[in-house]
């Protein structure tokens, strides 16, 4: 939320409003951010401060928010292809049932597919209906990767069309064909 401060410039001919400064804030840091108006020469009495904060909170909470819709969105196909490419041929990120994508990597992949940061939660919710495994309503689970627990999204392997990679044989030395005695 952006709050703009104006001042009235009084000339002999007309009265004019000019922008004095702006403060970008949210409801969680509103108190501290309103105090930043002192940089622009605006000081509030405790009563004015409380009234301003209350008016902002009431009006902010009345803002209608629309549901984010992903229907007819080709970004989802791009994201699923990107996830497939990320886990492709990896024995670390794929097991028999799931493909695991670390949360930070998923966020980066989503942003690469042109999803905005405010869409990530809705995207995960939509993916949970068909593509990712959830536990107790949580989209991320803990998985041990490279001997370290890591928060990951568990995509259903078959739903995104990823094959289980074939495990490579061990590199133990084989006996040669010659008989040595």
Indicate if 151 and 127 belong to the same structural domain: yes
Task: Quick: pLDDT tens for 170-181.
Answer: 555 445 555 544
Which pLDDT belongs to residue 109? 92
Buried b (16+ CB within 10 A) or exposed e, 33-43: ebebbeeeeee
Indicate if 97 and 56 belong to the same structural domain: no
State the total domains in the chain: 2
- Residue 56 is assigned to a structural domain of this protein: yes
Which has more pLDDT, 158 or 2? Answer: 158
Which pLDDT belongs to residue 104? 92
Bridge-partner residues for 16, per DSSP? 9
Distance set, CA 47 to CA 26, 51, 103, 121 (Å): 21, 6, 45, 38
- Residue 169 is assigned to a structural domain of this protein: no
Question: Residue 71 has what DSSP assignment?
Answer: T
In this prediction, residue 162 has a pLDDT band, given cuts at 50, 70 and 90, of confident
pLDDT(75) > 60: yes
Indicate if 151 and 83 belong to the same structural domain: yes
Indicate if 85 and 135 belong to the same structural domain: yes
- Residue 104 is assigned to a structural domain of this protein: yes
Which pLDDT belongs to residue 73? 72
- Residue 167 is assigned to a structural domain of this protein: no
Indicate if 103 and 147 belong to the same structural domain: yes
Ranked by mean pLDDT, the top range of 43-57, 61-75, 123-137 is: 123-137
Which range marks the domain in which residue 21 is found? 2-61
CA-to-CA distance for 118 and 110, rounded, in angstroms? 11
- Residue 101 is assigned to a structural domain of this protein: yes
Summarize the confidence of residues 1-23 as an average pLDDT.
77
In this prediction, residue 103 has a pLDDT band, given cuts at 50, 70 and 90, of very high
Summarize the confidence of residues 150-177 as an average pLDDT.
74
Indicate if 9 and 31 belong to the same structural domain: yes
């Amino acid at each position: 939320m952006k709050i703009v401060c104006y001042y009235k410039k009084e000339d002999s001919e007309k009265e004019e409003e000019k922008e004095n400064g702006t403060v970008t804030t949210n409801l969680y840091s509103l108190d501290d951010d309103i105090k930043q108006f002192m940089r622009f020469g605006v000081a509030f009495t405790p009563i004015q401060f409380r009234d301003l904060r209350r008016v902002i909170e009431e009006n902010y909470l009345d803002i209608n928010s629309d549901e984010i819709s992903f229907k007819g969105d080709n970004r989802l196909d791009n994201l699923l292809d990107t996830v497939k490419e990320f886990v492709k041929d990896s024995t670390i990120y794929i097991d028999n049932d799931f493909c695991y994508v670390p949360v930070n990597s998923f966020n980066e992949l989503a942003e690469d597919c042109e999803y905005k940061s405010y869409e990530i939660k809705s995207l995960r919710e939509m993916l949970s209906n068909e593509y990712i495994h959830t536990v107790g309503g949580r989209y991320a689970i803990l998985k041990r990767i490279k001997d370290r627990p890591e928060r990951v999204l568990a995509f259903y392997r078959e739903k995104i069309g990823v094959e289980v990679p074939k495990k490579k044989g061990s590199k133990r030395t084989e006996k040669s064909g010659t008989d040595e005695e």
